């Protein structure tokens, strides 16, 4: 299942960023995102009424570091003695985790979120920045109550508010999502890591594609299958359209996520991720085509399209499966 969808709103009182993840079957338009931002900004300033851990992940899923064959640095978890309203609270160096019910999965969850943060920083910026202050608030929603504020069928969302030089980050996810550890959290935490690293707002395709890169490899099998079906029907976005698009398309949002993830994957296999970060920063000023040529030796959007399709499909024809 594809995952992701990212909304932003700029408030007069400061920078507010909202990002939300959705299944591929759920297409959404721009209006919902624009309406959502101010309401989330109002509701996320303090911990309020929030989630529960339903699934015990202590023995089932690997952390992102374990999945990559890396040794995880052990994460220290501190449990606060008092509840915050209905919420039990645990803390790591960079996260404050709000949950209900069983405490057992929280140690595993804490390891996952710290590993995901470390992996995202190392992939895109070479090393992790200093400890987040304030900590990122992570709400594990067991009832779906918090998702009444989100688009229908949202699996998670990330928001942030800038006050002075500090970013206040918030992530809300379904605690019982079966893909929480290896898809949902790595995706959302990548969005959180990107906050504050670019002078201008990231292009939506790049933000979603970078978050998609953090997901499990099985998701990329789904991306390839979906893109194959659209290619057979002649309905892929042209890459120029994708890269120059502002926000999300009104239709084919699932395709948008898949193409975004596979375009980012192609570019970071052509050159290392730091070159892709340079592309994003320089293209804002100089335009996509000149910077693609400068950094990647890609002569034009047509050349990019040809190389990308060769990367995605190889010499095989796209599958004809409906």
Q: Does the structure show a pLDDT above 90 at 146?
A: no
| Counts for the chain of helices (H) and strands (E), in that order | 11, 8
Domain that holds residue 60: 5-197
What mean pLDDT, rounded, does the chain reach? 79
What's the rounded Cα separation, in Å, for the pair 292 and 283? 8
Comparing 42-56, 90-104, 264-278, the range with the smallest average pLDDT is 42-56
What's the rounded Cα separation, in Å, for the pair 143 and 145? 5
Higher pLDDT, 142 or 3: 142
Shared domain check, 213 and 187: no
Shared domain check, 35 and 174: yes
How many domains does the chain contain in total?
Answer: 2
92 burial level (CB within 10 Å; 0-12, 13-18, 19+) = buried
Q: Which of 197, 224, 247 is the last residue of a domain?
A: 197
- As beta bridge partners, residue 151 has none
The pLDDT > 70 percentage for the chain reads 72
Q: Does the structure show a pLDDT above 80 at 156?
A: yes
The pLDDT > 90 percentage for the chain reads 58
Q: With bands split at pLDDT 50, 70 and 90, how would you rate the model's confidence at 150?
A: low
Distances (CA, A) of 76 to 73, 111, 134, 196, 306: 9, 8, 17, 26, 48
Q: Does the structure show a pLDDT above 60 at 286?
A: yes
Comparing 37-51, 77-91, 209-223, 291-305, the range with the smallest average pLDDT is 37-51
Q: With bands split at pLDDT 50, 70 and 90, how would you rate the model's confidence at 201?
A: confident
Query: In 195-300, which ranges are continuous DSSP H helix?
Result: 204-213, 217-232, 239-244, 253-270, 273-286, 288-296
Shared domain check, 155 and 23: yes
Shared domain check, 132 and 47: yes
223 burial level (CB within 10 Å; 0-12, 13-18, 19+) = buried
Q: Which of 146, 179, 197 is the last residue of a domain?
A: 197
CB atoms within 10 A of CB 217: 8
Measured distance between the N- and C-terminal CA atoms of the chain, rounded to whole angstroms: 17
Q: Is residue 270 part of a domain?
A: yes
pLDDT at 24 (0 to 100): 31
Query: In 44-182, which ranges are continuous DSSP H helix?
Result: 64-67, 104-125
Q: Is residue 318 part of a domain?
A: no
What's the rounded Cα separation, in Å, for the pair 67 and 155? 22
- List, as one string, the DSSP characters of 168-222: EEEEEEETT-TTIIIIIHHHHHHHHHHTTSSSSPPPHHHHHHHHHHTS-HHHHHH
CB 266 within 8 A of CB 311: yes
Q: With bands split at pLDDT 50, 70 and 90, how would you rate the model's confidence at 240?
A: very high
Shared domain check, 304 and 245: yes
Shared domain check, 157 and 19: yes
Q: With bands split at pLDDT 50, 70 and 90, how would you rate the model's confidence at 248?
A: confident
pLDDT tens sequence across 57-94: 333 444 444 455 555 678 899 999 999 998 999 999 99
pLDDT at 60 (0 to 100): 41
């Amino acid at each position: 299942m594809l995952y992701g969808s990212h909304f932003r709103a700029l408030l007069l009182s400061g920078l507010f960023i909202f990002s939300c993840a959705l299944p591929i079957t759920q297409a959404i338009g721009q209006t919902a995102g624009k309406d959502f931002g101010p309401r989330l900004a109002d509701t996320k300033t303090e911990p309020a009424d929030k989630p529960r851990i339903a699934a015990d992940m202590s023995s089932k899923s690997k952390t992102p570091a374990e999945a990559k064959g890396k040794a995880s640095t052990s994460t220290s978890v501190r449990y606060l003695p008092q509840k915050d309203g209905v919420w039990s609270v645990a803390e790591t160096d960079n996260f404050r985790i709000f949950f209900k019910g069983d405490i057992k999965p929280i140690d595993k969850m804490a390891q996952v979120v710290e590993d995901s943060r470390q992996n995202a920083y190392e992939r895109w910026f070479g090393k992790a920045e200093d400890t987040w202050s304030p900590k990122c608030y992570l709400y594990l929603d067991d009832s779906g109550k918090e998702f009444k504020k989100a688009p229908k069928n949202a699996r998670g969302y990330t928001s942030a508010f800038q006050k002075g030089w500090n970013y206040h980050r918030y992530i809300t996810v379904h605690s019982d999502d079966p893909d929480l550890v290896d898809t949902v959290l790595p995706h959302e935490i990548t969005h959180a890591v990107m906050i504050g690293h670019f002078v201008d707002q990231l292009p939506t395709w790049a933000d979603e594609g970078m978050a998609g890169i953090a997901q499990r490899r099985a998701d990329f099998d789904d991306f390839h299958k979906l893109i194959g079906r659209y290619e057979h029907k002649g309905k892929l976005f042209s890459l120029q359209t994708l890269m120059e698009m502002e926000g999300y398309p009104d239709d084919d949002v699932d395709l948008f996520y898949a193409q975004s993830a596979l375009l980012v994957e192609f570019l970071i296999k052509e050159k290392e991720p730091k070159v892709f970060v340079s592309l994003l920063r320089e293209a804002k000023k100089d335009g996509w085509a000149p910077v693609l040529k400068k950094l990647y030796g890609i002569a034009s959007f047509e050349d990019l399209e040809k190389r990308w399709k060769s990367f995605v499909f190889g010499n095989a024809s796209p599958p004809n499966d409906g």
